Structures are given as C-alpha cells and as structure tokens.
Structure 1
Amino acid sequence: MSHALELRAARVRYGPLEALHGVSLIAPAPGLTVLLGRNGSGRTTALRALAGTVPLSGGAVVWGGADITRLPAHERARRGLCFVPDRQAVFGSLTVAENLELAHARGDRTAALAAYPELRPLLARRAGTLSGGEQRMLAVSRALLAAGEGARAVLVDEPTQGMSAAVASRTYGLLEDLDAGVVVAEQRLPPGLRGRAGREVVVYELRRGEVVFAGEAAEVPADRPGAAE
C-alpha cells in the first residue's frame, strides 16, 4: 500500500457549513475504492479533497506516506494524480480527437478507442455537442490514457453517469484493471464489482459528512441505501 491515498480526520467547510466532519479513509493502490452516498453526503467533497480542488479546514491528505495537504491540485496532477469531475470534465470547444490527443504525450488515442469504440465516429465532433453519456465515455477514456502514461491515482466522480448498463459495466471493468489507485464517487454501489486477483474493492459510505460504513464490496449489506440492486 505504498502509494495509498488517504484522508486523515479531514474537515472541509463551505462558508459557515462544514461538509466533512473529520473523515478518514484509505484508498489502496493499485485497487478500486468506492465512495458511496446520496447527494449532500460528502462523497464528492471527499473526492475533491483528495484531488486538491477544495482546501481542508482540518486534518490531512497523505499520498504514498507523504503529507500533500498544502500541495495544490496542479502539482498533484504533475505527480500523477488524474481527477475527472462530474461536470466540465472535457474541453467542450475541442473535438473528441483533440481531447484524446491532449491526454496522451504522443497524441496516441488507440487505447481510448479500443476501450470505447463508440467514440470513433464522433472524433470530428466538438465535445460540447455530445450527449451526457458520450461525454462521460470521453472523460473516462482520457483518464485511461493518463493512467497508461503513468498516472498513479485516478479519481472519477460518477464515472458511468448517462451510460447504458452495458457500457457502464465495461467502464468499471476498465477502471478495475488499471495499475493505479482508483477512487470513484457513486450514489449506489455498481453491480458485479469483481476485483482482480490480490486486490480488494474497498467501499466507504458517507452520510452527512461522516463515514457510516467501511469495508469490502462483498460486505455491503443488501438493505443499505447504497447497495447495488
């Protein structure tokens, strides 16, 4: 777990309101960690705190054993952290091809199109004109390219939003197979998470800014609000 990404007693405030109340979690690397919670639970804030796009008012962010709490988001990105937010995750004024080329040092989009062949006929389209599901495919494919270029942590907020069930299932298979620490925020636990040999799928459920469950995916009770149907 030498490249694990951690929140330690993390607190985040938006003005007078505290969104995270001393949240602690460990996202192993390589491996998949799922942050579950309904809207307003703090799952997205926790993901942004890891990425460095919101500051902590207390606690710490630790990556690979080093305290990076004061490291700005762009420096975390330079060190190999890729963050895909739930909105504005692609460059809307650029074409799909240009978005993919920017994500790879040599402009090689082969791996992205192999993962999502649905993007091939859209290469000349401006990303801002795509449907919500198509934009998520493009955003995740950019993260896949970043991981192929050496990204050690990949954080994705609602990676399958707007996707069909089949494409969503394929997306989680792709994320699980990455040789990186992958952290996703979801409202519900995706069905069929299998984990790779020697890796576990870790789940944290947040409610009102606090962790109310922590364990492996197989341990999530079926009657919990965030359990897969």
Structure 2
Amino acid sequence: MTVELELRHARVRYGPLEALHGISLTVARDAVTVLLGRNGAGRTTALRALAGTVPLDRGAVLWRGADITRLPAHTRAANGLTYVPDRQAVFGSLSVAENLELAAPHAGFGAALDAYPELRPLLGRRAGTLSGGERRILALCRTVLAHARVVLVDEPAQGMSAAVAARTYELLGALPATVVVAEQRLPATLRAAPRPVLVHELRRGAVVFSGEAAELRSPER
C-alpha cells in the first residue's frame, strides 16, 4: 500500500474542547478510505485537518511524505486536493450552471450532467434555492469536474434518495483519485467498490479500528 495522506499524532482543539486526541491514520493512494463514526466521534474534524480548514494543535499532516501541516487550505486545493464539506459546499447566489462553470471554466460540464442527469433541468436555478440533496449533487458534480488528485467528502449522500445515494457511492468508488469520505455507517455500495476500501473508525476523538472494509463485522459496527 502506498500512502497518499497521513495524520500523525494529530490533536485539534475547539476552544477548551479537544476533538482529536493525538490520532494517527493513513490514507492509501488510489483507494477509498472511510472515516467512520457517530456524530461527535471526530471524523469530520479529521477530514478538515486533512483539508487544512482547521489547524492542528499538535501533530502533523503529510502528503506523499511531505509535511503540509502549515500549508493553507487554498494551497492544498491548488495542488489537487478537493474538499466537499457537509454544508456550504456550493455558491448559493450563483446559478447551477455558473457553479459548474467555475469548476471547469474551459472544459465544459457534460461529464457532470452525465453522472447526474437530474441536474440538467436545474441549470438556470440559483443554487441557494435547491433542496439539500440537490445541493449535494451539485457539490459532487463540481468535484467530478475538478479532476483532483485527492477528494475529501463529508457525508456525500446527505439528503439524497436511496437510488441517487447508491449511484453517488458508485461514482466515488470509481473516481480516478484518492477518495476519503466521512460517514456514520459504511455504505453497502462502497463495500462492493472495484478497488481497496479502507476504514478508520473513530470514537470520542480516538481511532478504535483501522483495516479493510471486509474486516468490519457489519455496516452497523
């Protein structure tokens, strides 16, 4: 396994509250890594630490062996790391088409509409008027168009129907990129992905399990 990203002894604080208690975890290159845990477990904070949107109190973030702990989030993005947060992942004052054009200003956005054809009749709508599930679809379409080296997504299927959620996990499982998702449970579609799926389970800011998805007893572990 070749390591793409790594958290080493990472501690993150929100004021007096320590959200990550010195965790270490690795993200395999060209694989899918799932940060698993309930609300408050620390999975979203770990994802933000990898993206650079929260600073580490202690520890380090490595990208292909290079220490990027102090590298700003926008510089990580410019180097090919795309982060889709669970909220505010689109520009609400812009139309759907304008959001897509920002992600692919020169290449067009046909590939995104092929992945999510339900977005096509919404191209003229302002993104802020979309439903929660539609906004998630738009955010993921922007990710597809970005051709990123690393894709970090917090609860990708939030607000989606079961059918669209399954298609979303299939899409993420097949992306030609290193993919990291934060989820409360391991989706069955990801378990069947055509490439390695690794899991780090977090509880109360600590890693309690690391291994392949097949080693989990059940999605409700």
User: What residue in structure 1 maps to residue 96 of structure 2?
Assistant: 96
Q: Classify 1:3/1:110 alpha carbon distance in 2 versus 1 (closer, same or farther; 3 Å).
A: farther
3-state secondary structure, aligned to 1:133: helix
1:2 deviation in Å?
Answer: 5.0
3-state secondary structure, aligned to 1:173: helix
Conserved? CA contact 2:3–2:26, under 8 Å: no
User: What residue in structure 1 maps to residue 214 of structure 2?
Assistant: 218
1:220 is aligned with what amino acid?
L
- Measure the CA separation in 2 of the matches of 1:116 and 1:29: 26
User: What residue in structure 1 maps to residue 79 of structure 2?
Assistant: 79
1:106 is aligned with what amino acid?
H
Indicate yes or no: 2:167 matched with 1:167.
no
Runs of 5+ unmatched residues, structure 2 = none
Amino-acid identity (%): 71
Superposed CA deviations along residues 136-180 of structure 1, whole A, max 9, x for unmatched, are 000011111112xxx110000010001111111111111111111
- Measure the CA separation in 2 of the matches of 1:3 and 1:41: 24
Q: Classify 1:3/1:178 alpha carbon distance in 2 versus 1 (closer, same or farther; 3 Å).
A: farther
The two structures, once aligned, show a CA RMSD in angstroms of: 1.2
- Measure the CA separation in 2 of the matches of 1:105 and 1:156: 22
TM-score by length of 2: 0.96
- Measure the CA separation in 1 of the matches of 2:89 and 2:74: 15
Indicate yes or no: 2:178 matched with 1:187.
no
* Residue of structure 2 aligned with 1:156, choices 153, 157, 162: 153
- Measure the CA separation in 1 of the matches of 2:171 and 2:145: 11
1:217 deviation in Å?
Answer: 1.0
Indicate yes or no: 2:200 matched with 1:204.
yes
3-state secondary structure, aligned to 1:19: strand
3-state secondary structure, aligned to 1:189: coil
Conserved? CA contact 1:37–1:207, under 8 Å: yes
1:3 deviation in Å?
Answer: 5.9
3-state secondary structure, aligned to 1:86: coil
1:93 deviation in Å?
Answer: 0.4
3-state secondary structure, aligned to 2:23: strand
Question: Where does 1:109-188 land on structure 2 (aligned, <5 Å)?
Answer: 109-147=109-147, 151-188=148-185
Write out the 4+ residue segments of structure 1 that deviate beyond 6 Å after TM superposition: none
Conserved? CA contact 1:47–1:157, under 8 Å: yes
1:28 is aligned with what amino acid?
A
1:192 deviation in Å?
Answer: 2.7
Runs of 5+ unmatched residues, structure 1 = none
User: What residue in structure 2 maps to residue 70 of structure 1?
Assistant: 70
TM-score by length of 1: 0.93
1:130 is aligned with what amino acid?
L
